[in-house]
Amino acid sequence: MTIRVATEVVLDQLYDYAVPAELVSKMQPGLRVRVPLGARVVDGYVIEVLAEKGEALDELPLFSGKLAEQSEGRKFKLRYIHSITDDIPYVTANLLKLVTWMADYYCAPFEQSLRCILPAAVRSKSMRSKEQLYVAPQQGEFKLTKRQSELLVEINRVGGGWMRFLTREFSCAPQTIHNLAERGAVTIEPRQVWRDPLANRKILPTKPMELMPEQRVALDTISRLIDLSAQGQKTAPILLHGVTGSGKTEVYLQAIAQVLVQGRGAIVLVPEIALTPQTVQRFAARFGKRIAVLHSALSEGERFDEWHRIRSGAADVVIGPRSALFAPVKCPGLIVVDEEHEPSYKQDESPRYHARDVATVRGAMEGCVVVLGTATPSMESWNNAQSGKYNYTALTARVSNRPMPDVYIIDMRREAAAGQHATMFSAPLMEAIRLRLERGEQAILFLNRRGFANSLQCPECGDVAQCDACNLAYTYHQSDSCLRCHICGGWKHLPSTCGECGAPVLKYTGYGTQRVEIALKKCFPQARVLRMDADVTTRKSSHDELLTIFRTKQADILIGTQMIAKGLDFPNVTLVGVLNADISLHMPDIRASERTWQLLAQVSGRAGRADLPGEVYIQTYSPDHPAVRVAGGHESFETMATRELAERRAGGYPPFTHMVCLTFSGRSEQKTAHAAACYAAALKKITAAVKVSEAAPAPLAKARDRYRYQILMRSTSAIKMVNMLRKLMACQSPGEDVRMSVDVDVVNMM
Ligand code: ADP
Ligand code: ZN
């Protein structure tokens, strides 16, 4: 028998080994093994079992350290593995299949893909926590002294515990407890101590709620799929489309309870930003110790322990951000992707996977049900639900019929014409803020500011300069005063007048959260203002701290970026102001309109969550834009989505095509531009079936002293494009000092 192994030393090169006869029957993918590598013996993981069981080579090894690629057709004597480290596989065979698929699909090195299921913290031996002595009281009659009897009563009262804890709690020496053990009154044994991220939190258990009629229908639909999958039938993913506050989470909880009864596990993905203590609390309150949390804020030790609790089966409900999708849950019955539309599910480094899409692939491989939940479906999932590829169920009302907030659209062109110096706060918004301060209620001001991607908008008429060929906002490149289209690579010089109304002044005036904070303090000196954006939340806990300050009403107004847009529930917030909806509306991004509507719907969901009714003010220069009209309740989501999909189809955009973005970066602008241009030319020659753009400067034209150029490819087949690329990459390197990255199903073009 031959096995292919990734070693701890070089994960990216696979080596083949022979398996001694006595280990052949135990061999399976995912096992951890000890193997010889050069003069050393190292840890490795079985990636693939190549030959049938039982046909071990019996000759002595002559060669090791052989590359997998070289093994085809060349006869070397393989070295034998030394031993198997543990009996249960470290990762499951399905997960190995998944990361192999992922490396292929996303054109990523296998090693980087493998790291998703074997993160460093999990493999590290130094992370293993020590065992400690655990004392468990026993039933029966024992001959004890008075002092010993008293101590035993105490130990019984607390139900046993760690030796260290008991000696401290009851002020006794360890020897006293050992004496109890000698008389059989307690047992003492070493046990592994799990570092528990939920320790020190008081969590009151909750029972399943009586469901609202729509929730009932949704759960029944999901239950049917769960039963089908339990019988081994394939099930398509289901889109759970429920407005904010409609009780999606309760539906997830009860669906999870159902798979647990069947002896299967569950994975719940939430956007990193929505993984608040409140969210975790809701799951822990229902499932207690069966919950494992995988969180970027965990210490390495906590991460190690949580992962191994999952692997051992001690925890079978996993909640976490996108990386939790790779948790070694043995037999998942349900994968929930909450807020499925969230762009943060796309990883922005290799492997550049989209957790929602990979979740559906894992679901298919594991034969489990995938629920995609959202108030604002992505066009991808909406299209799949419309075409019947996905199942669909909707929650249209908020729980207990709490009303949706009133939404007002403020036309900033009119505000400007009325002579307000109002680029930041319109008169109605000012008045609304003033009222909140007077009434002691709270307000959230939202500004989505992604610095570099500037569109060019006329302050007189609101017109935005667009590429006619692609129907997409031009990006203004300040460095060379050019307007560039990031789909086709087309460009033109900065015009001196507005193309629509002829007004001469045409400049982009931007402002960020910091300036808003200063201006707000000037207008309302008495207000307590809190700002939350990437600049102030870099510390591990500052995000939670700021939210706690706001929740406990130690601040009146919270200013923030999309960080504050979702998942948070503040009962005293009755006003949400969107300072400039146009920023995201005119991003040079095919999803600009979709994103804007999603953001507006999510921030609006922040207002009026409890007993106080809410108001939302949306400031915009484009009040007639469909995304704004839907948010204002002037158009239905279905109407907008139908039109948006028609436009995407006509333009050849996702979800009707796949887009691959190649980014070249280098210290020399000339070399980088040249490398990109050569690649674009070569790709165009291969086939006309794939649309390839000209090479052009990226929206983020320079970062960390490296110039950045991009090529965009579009085709109905992602695999076709990746294969094309692989062939080209094999024979043509991007050139010296130039790096190239491949982003399949690109979400953020930067
Ligand atoms: P969503 O996830 O759709 O935004 P949540 O699950 O957060 O909505 O539910 C909103 C609120 O309604 C929560 O406070 C939740 O406890 C409550 N809730 C959910 N379902 C029910 C129900 N069937 N009966 C009463 N309250 C419910
Ligand atoms: Zn264009």
Tell me, what's the pLDDT at 451?
43
| Cα of 484 from ligand 2 centre, angstroms | 8
| Ligand 1: residue whose CA is nearest its atom 22 | 211
Q: Is 212 in the pocket of ligand 1 (CB under 6 A)?
A: yes
Structure tokens at 310: 């999952």
| Ligand 1: residue whose CA is nearest its atom 17 | 247
| Cα of 211 from ligand 1 centre, angstroms | 9
Q: Is 16 in the pocket of ligand 1 (CB under 6 A)?
A: no
Tell me, what's the pLDDT at 142?
87
Most confident of 87-96, 410-419, 542-551, 718-727: 718-727
Distance, CA of 739 to CA of 350 (rounded, Å): 13
| Cα of 581 from ligand 2 centre, angstroms | 23
Distance, CA of 409 to CA of 416 (rounded, Å): 15
Mean pLDDT along residues 99-125: 87
Tell me, what's the pLDDT at 664?
96
Tell which wins on pLDDT, 429 or 53. Answer: 429
| Cα of 398 from ligand 1 centre, angstroms | 8
Tell which wins on pLDDT, 691 or 78. Answer: 691
Q: What are phi and psi of 552, to 5 degrees?
A: -85, 15
Q: Is 247 in the pocket of ligand 1 (CB under 6 A)?
A: yes
- 174-182 and 146-158 are packed helices; what angle lies between their axes, rounded to 10 degrees? 90
Transcribe 411-432 into DSSP letters: EHHHHHHTT---SS--HHHHHH
Q: pLDDT class for 57, splitting at 50, 70, 90?
A: very low
Q: What is the 3-state secondary structure (H, E, C) of 135-154?
A: EEECCCCCCCCHHHHHHHHH
Mean pLDDT along residues 414-420: 69
Tell me, what's the pLDDT at 662?
96
Summarize pLDDT for 188-205 with one digit per residue, the tens.
Answer: 988 766 666 666 566 778
Summarize pLDDT for 615-629 with one digit per residue, the tens.
Answer: 899 999 889 888 898
Topology given in CATH for the domain delimited by 406-450+512-644: Rossmann fold (3.40.50)
CA 695 from chain centre, in angstroms, equals 30
- 619's enclosing H/E stretch is strand 615-620
Please report, for residues 66, 96, 111, 400, the alpha-carbon distance to residue 114 in angstroms, rounded to integers and kept in the order given.
19, 8, 5, 46
| Burial of 494: CB neighbours in 10 Å, binned 0-12, 13-18, 19+ | middle
Mention every residue, 6+ apart, whose C-beta is less than 8 A from residue 210. none
Tell which wins on pLDDT, 71 or 236. Answer: 236
> What is the number of other CB atoms lying within 10 angstroms of the CB of residue 280?
21
Which one-letter amino acid corresponds to residue 33? V
Paired with 619 in beta bridges are 410
Q: pLDDT class for 484, splitting at 50, 70, 90?
A: confident
Tell me, what's the pLDDT at 545?
80
Most distant CA pair in the chain: distance in Å? Answer: 101
Q: Is 274 in the pocket of ligand 1 (CB under 6 A)?
A: no
Q: pLDDT class for 60, splitting at 50, 70, 90?
A: very low
* pLDDT surpasses 60 at 509: no
* Residue range 658-744 in CATH 3.40.1080.20: no
Tell me, what's the pLDDT at 69?
39
Tokens 């002037």 label which residue?
634
* pLDDT surpasses 80 at 715: yes
Q: Fold identical between 213-276+285-351+359-401 and 658-744? A: no
For the chain, what percent of residues have pLDDT higher than 90?
41
Distance, CA of 554 to CA of 654 (rounded, Å): 45
Q: Per mean pLDDT, which range of 137-141, 235-239, 259-263, 455-459 is the poorest?
A: 455-459
Would you kindly state where each structural domain of the chain is located, as residue ranges?
A: 2-118, 130-193, 213-276+285-351+359-401, 406-450+512-644, 453-510, 658-744
Q: Which ligand is nearest to the CA of 605?
A: 1
User: Which CATH superfamily does the domain covering 213-276+285-351+359-401 fall into?
Assistant: P-loop containing nucleotide triphosphate hydrolases (3.40.50.300)
| Burial of 175: CB neighbours in 10 Å, binned 0-12, 13-18, 19+ | exposed
For the chain, what percent of residues have pLDDT higher than 70?
88
Summarize pLDDT for 312-350 with one digit per residue, the tens.
Answer: 899 999 999 999 999 999 899 999 999 999 999 999 999
Tell which wins on pLDDT, 20 or 123. Answer: 20
Mean pLDDT along residues 558-586: 79
Most confident of 297-306, 429-438, 470-479: 429-438
Ligand 2 (single-atom ion) residues, CB below 5 Å: 467, 469-470, 485, 487-488, 490
Report the chain's terminal Cα–Cα distance, integer Å.
48
Q: pLDDT class for 612, splitting at 50, 70, 90?
A: confident
Tell which wins on pLDDT, 582 or 720. Answer: 720
CATH of range 2-118; options 3.40.50.300, 3.40.50.2300, 3.40.1440.60, 3.40.50.12280: 3.40.1440.60
